[in-house]
């Protein structure tokens, strides 16, 4: 059972982490939260930077203590994403765990009439296929590392390095201060593989339906290709405990 040290203050710790390099933020998280820490990834630029950093840090740790890396297989990923995920698993000796929706695909079709809920209600589709699987998994951890950055969208412009959800789960964003160009430089310098769709105009990569992910070109805002024309900018994974009640995901 994880217990916070007496006198631990989130705001104070967040201030101390603000100027720390991402590797040091990640190292602190591993040492502080131990077996109660997990990382999530979608194998995009930031995710690959974090995976590379984690792989180097974990060489110092015995295998049973290695941080679980959670990937949500929504059932709607681009084939390129699934193939790239396979290649990354083969390259990095990390503790990858695949999460899946609680509703099987055929049952999903029976409930919603077809396989295209993403057109009619993309928020509900995300809730079922992305948010619920992650929330179910997070019930077993105290803290989650994710690759969110401040320069990707107005919704993320003020994210802290460390935050605490209303249900007590901690979120850590070691890359919050990094820019897209800095991510690319890291990938090149450290010979880290890059998702192939990034070179085809996809700046942010989600599920394959056009209403969810579109290529936008290098000079467009980073999340311009997500849910284009719907007014939606987030799947909801990072709104839990902030803009909606934590762990409220009954289906």
Q: Are 174 and 145 in contact (CB under 8 A)?
A: yes
CA-based radius of gyration for the chain:
18
| 38 labelled catalytic | no
**C-alpha 31, offset from chain centre:** 21
Among the listed residues 125, 126, 207, 235, the single catalytic one is 235
**130: DSSP letter:** I
Q: Are 232 and 119 in contact (CB under 8 A)?
A: no
In the sheet that holds 37-40, the strands lie side by side as 95-99, 68-72, 37-40, 143-145, 170-172, 162-164
Q: Are 14 and 162 in contact (CB under 8 A)?
A: yes
Beta-bridge partner residues of 96: 69
Token pair 């948010």: residue? 131
Structure tokens at 198: 């990034």
**Residue numbers annotated as active site:** 235
């Amino acid at each position: 059972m994880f217990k916070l040290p007496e006198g631990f203050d989130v705001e104070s710790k967040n201030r101390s982490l603000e100027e720390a390099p991402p590797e040091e933020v990640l190292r602190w998280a591993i040492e502080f939260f131990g077996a109660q820490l997990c990382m999530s990834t979608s194998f995009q630029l930031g995710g690959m930077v974090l995976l590379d950093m984690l792989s180097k840090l974990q060489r110092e740790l015995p295998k049973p203590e290695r941080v679980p890396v959670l990937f949500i297989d929504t059932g709607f990923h681009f084939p390129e994403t699934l193939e790239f995920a396979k290649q990354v698993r083969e390259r990095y000796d990390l503790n990858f765990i695949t999460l899946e929706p609680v509703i099987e695909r055929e049952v999903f079709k029976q409930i919603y009439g077809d396989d295209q809920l993403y057109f009619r209600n993309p928020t509900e589709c995300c809730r079922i296929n992305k948010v619920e699987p992650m929330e179910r998994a997070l019930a077993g951890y105290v803290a989650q590392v994710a690759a969110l950055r401040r320069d990707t969208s107005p919704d993320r412009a003020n994210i802290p390095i460390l935050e605490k959800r209303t249900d007590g789960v901690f979120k850590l964003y070691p890359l919050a201060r990094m820019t897209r160009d800095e991510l690319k430089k890291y990938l090149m310098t450290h010979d880290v593989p890059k998702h192939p769709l990034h070179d085809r105009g996809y700046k942010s990569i989600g599920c394959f339906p056009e209403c969810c992910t579109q290529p936008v070109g290098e000079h467009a805002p980073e999340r311009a290709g997500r849910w284009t024309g719907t007014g939606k900018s987030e799947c909801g994974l990072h709104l839990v405990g902030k803009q909606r009640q934590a762990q409220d995901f009954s289906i």
